[in-house]
A and B are shown apart, each in its own frame.
Chain A
Amino acid sequence: MSHASTTAESEDSSTIDTALSTESRDDRSSRPDETVIRSSGLDVYYGEDQALDGIDMEIPARKVTALIGPSGCGKSTFLRSINRMNDLIDVARVDGDLYFRRKNVYDADVDPVALRRKIGMVFQKPNPFPKSIRDNVAYGLRVQGKTDDVDGRIEEALRGAALWDEVEDRLGESGLELSGGQQQRLCIARAIATDPEVILMDEPASALDPVATAKIEDLIEDLAREYTVVIVTHNMQQAARISDKTAVFLTGGNLVEFGDTNEVFSNPENDRVEDYITGKFG
């Protein structure tokens, strides 16, 4: 994984941790329209193949931003470049800039692990650790070094993930004993226990039944009161239901349209987007 920044210096030389260490979520609550993630001319290559082509996007705070588009269009690649998950792929290369607040996340002094605490991720398939429900959430606290009031913090995270009422009597049971939907909410609890600012979700409900999906969708809307949520989904109705902003990626790793969800779904500017969302191609 290499990064060739096309612009000179990041706008802020502080590390991710120091850039944000002085604020809690409550401090941030007064500026909901501020941009949290800004990508500028972002290209991603896998070897010779270009997966993203000059993506410019500003993701607003405490909103749900949905990334939609056909398979292979680059939406998951974009999601993963936000918290440098693409670092884990040897042949991946990134050009351009991606700012988390005022910090370019591809600067040499950014610790990807610290970055991923601030920008958590929930995957398509729930992946709880083969440990107790309590330990799954406590892990998130441990990586943050938070050792005081662990039980209180576990309860807070599980409540935040709308799971507490279903598991409060069996915190010692294995996370793998839970249903698929509960496992996914456990993973969300684990993610929010690290006190992130942004939660990335890669098709978080695609493996779930409609009832579990509805709970996750309700939860996503609740989470957006405190967190910035970016979600990749293949389910366009889901994007329409839960997101405030929609980004449409089409073939070739191009971001073709980005705007308010109600505008994109009622009056898209781009004819190809219209054809895609009405099902005429894709």
Chain B
Amino acid sequence: MPRESYQNQLADLERRVLEMADLVTERTAQSLEAFTYKDEALARTIIDGDAEVNERYLELEGACIDLLALQQPVAGDLRFVAASFKIITDLERIADLATNLGQYTLQAERNRYPDIDISYIGEEALSMVGSAMTAYETRDTALAREVAARDDEVDDRCERASDLVVRDLIETEVADETTFADVRRMFLTIRDVERVGDHAVNVAARVLYMVENDDELIY
């Protein structure tokens, strides 16, 4: 095939994006576990490991820019590089959210909301990320659309969790600083897990653009 080195660079980019996705997914799963079981050692590992994800992100950003500058991809190749360029940003943001979860784990002195199962919400969001990346790897647009549809479920779970926090706050007669800190942290936790789902939808949107030049999910 002509332009063999270029074709290899495209294949290499895809492989490395998928590796980054595996790393980010694994860390996010661990952050949910750390949060659920208040595993502070694991939480510290997640926080310390964020630098590695950032490094991967910068390497891949460089690879995309090199491809654009040196190979001038067009058509399907261009959409692949453009989609990959956006997807690595979403992956990096998901890793940041995992780091936040690690920090909330360290900050919380107690679990004020035993009825709220963050890992139940988080696992659904994370499963969406996995499906979105499978859609990227296999160019499966039906799967990409399915990911977008599943976001409503994550949003519903987050809304129900938020309701529980609000109800608890209303029922608390005297709210002290610790209570406020618990409430604030739990809202942030719910918001962050919900955003993991949003990033999965972003990835799915880029897959749709990449494969079909369809921007229906982008805006």
Contact = CB atoms under 8 A, between A and B. Distances in A.
Interface in A241-282: 265-268, 273-274, 277-282
B79 A237 contact: no
Contact of B73 (A273, A278, A282): A278
B2 A265 contact: no
A192 to B, nearest CB: 31
A245 B74 CA distance: 16
B75 A281 contact: no
A279 B2 contact: yes
A240 B2 contact: no
B2 A267 contact: no
A281 B78 contact: no
Given A266-B79, A266-B213, A267-B213, A277 B74 contact: yes
B74 A240 contact: yes
B72 A237 contact: yes
B62 interface: no
B110 interface: no
The size bracket of the interface on B is 10 to 19
A274 B22 CA distance: 31
A259 to B, nearest CB: 12
Interface string B66-81: 0000001111111100
Nearest to B212: A267
B167 interface: no
B180 interface: no
A236 interface: yes
Contact of A281 (B2, B6, B77, B79): B2
A273 B79 CA distance: 15
Contacts of A266: 74-75, 78-79, 213
A171 to B, nearest CB: 40
Contacts of B6: 279
Nearest to A273: B75
B11 interface: no
B1 interface: yes
Interface of A: 236-237, 240, 265-268, 273-274, 277-282
22 contacts: A237-B72, A240-B74, A265-B74, A265-B75, A265-B78, A266-B74, A266-B75, A266-B78, A266-B79, A267-B75, A267-B79, A268-B75, A274-B76, A277-B74, A277-B75, A278-B73, A278-B74, A278-B75, A279-B3, A279-B6, A280-B2, A282-B2
Interface of B: 1-3, 6, 72-79, 213
Given A266-B78, A267-B75, A279-B3, 9 more contacts: A236-B74, A240-B72, A240-B74, A265-B75, A274-B75, A278-B73, A278-B75, A280-B1, A282-B2
